[in-house]
Amino acid sequence: MTTTEVENFPGFSEGILGPDLMDKMEKQAKKHGTRIEAKTVTEVDLSSHPFKIKVGAEEYETEALIIATGALARRLGIPSEDKYWGKGVSACATCDGPLFRNKEIVVIGGGDAAMEEANFLARFATKVTIINRSEEYKASEIMLDRAKKNPKISFISNAVVEEILGDEKLVTGIKLKNVKTGEFTDVKTQGVFVAIGHKPASEFLKGKLEMDEVGYIIKKEGTSLTSVEGVFACGDVADRRYRQAISAAGTGCMAAIDAERWLEEK
């Protein structure tokens, strides 16, 4: 829903807007009998069957539960980021990289994700600049070395983005602040990729399902099964590696089949 042009989902040779793709998926689900409630889950009780799902004062009971709440890219938290999101600001190189062919872009972050994004974007861009808030990079030695050896990639250390600059339609640059000197610098760019990590939407499940240190739900290898029998997980809430619409859809299929078979066995 927060992506503009989606060009890497099967079946749409000309691409499709993210909200339009979601609308088509929703209509397809409804056609086959799915009932959709636009509500926010506040609490779950997975201690006994049937499971209890609380939505404010309301409560739902279910024998099987599929968690498909996704993950959100961590953001910088500045107003101009929201203003230009989808207009030059992105958090997915594999989704939006081809749109920045022959342009100069920046990647914000210092971990493996930032190095991976930068190397991928260098296939399309004329220049990629990695911006990190310190001189120390969290990336592994091999990933950092790979980025440093790429002739299209350069580095700016000890800097944070104070503001994203642009006209009414597109990004034209960023304002950087040197964290050591306090000095401000404007850098021209046509694209800003935020690569400071993702946060899975699993807060409401803490202590109830096995998760990793970040909050991604841990699945039994090759399945959608979680640490609680009858609870299944799919998509980005349980995927810290791929995070693509097509892989999320595929694991959604796996979760549906696993849930159906589990119910039949019961």
The one catalytic residue among 92, 236, 239, 258: 92
User: CA 235, 239, 241, 242: dihedral to nearest 10 degrees?
Assistant: 0
Percentage of the chain exceeding pLDDT 90: 81
Dist CA 174 CA 188 (whole Å): 7
Task: Give the pLDDT confidence score for residue 249 in this predicted structure.
Answer: 96
95 is catalytic: yes
In the structure, what pLDDT confidence band is assigned to residue 94 with cuts at 50, 70 and 90? confident
> Cis (ω within 30 of 0) for the bond into 151?
no
Domain 37-71+208-265 and domain 75-196 have a common topology: yes
pLDDT digits (tens, 9 = 90+) for 63-88: 999 999 999 888 999 999 999 998 99
Q: Which CATH superfamily is domain 75-196 in?
A: FAD/NAD(P)-binding domain (3.50.50.60)
Domain ranges of the chain: 37-71+208-265, 75-196
pTM for the full predicted model: 0.74
Backbone angles phi, psi at 231, to 5 degrees: -110, 130
- pLDDT exceeds cutoff 90 at 96: no
pLDDT digits (tens, 9 = 90+) for 124-153: 999 999 999 999 999 989 999 999 999 999
The one catalytic residue among 23, 45, 82, 95: 95
What are 125's two structure tokens?
């861009």
Topology at the third CATH level for domain 37-71+208-265:
FAD/NAD(P)-binding domain (3.50.50)
258 is catalytic: no
Strand, coil or helix: 131: strand
Tokens 């201690």 identify what position? 47
20 is catalytic: no
Task: Give the pLDDT confidence score for residue 1 in this predicted structure.
Answer: 77
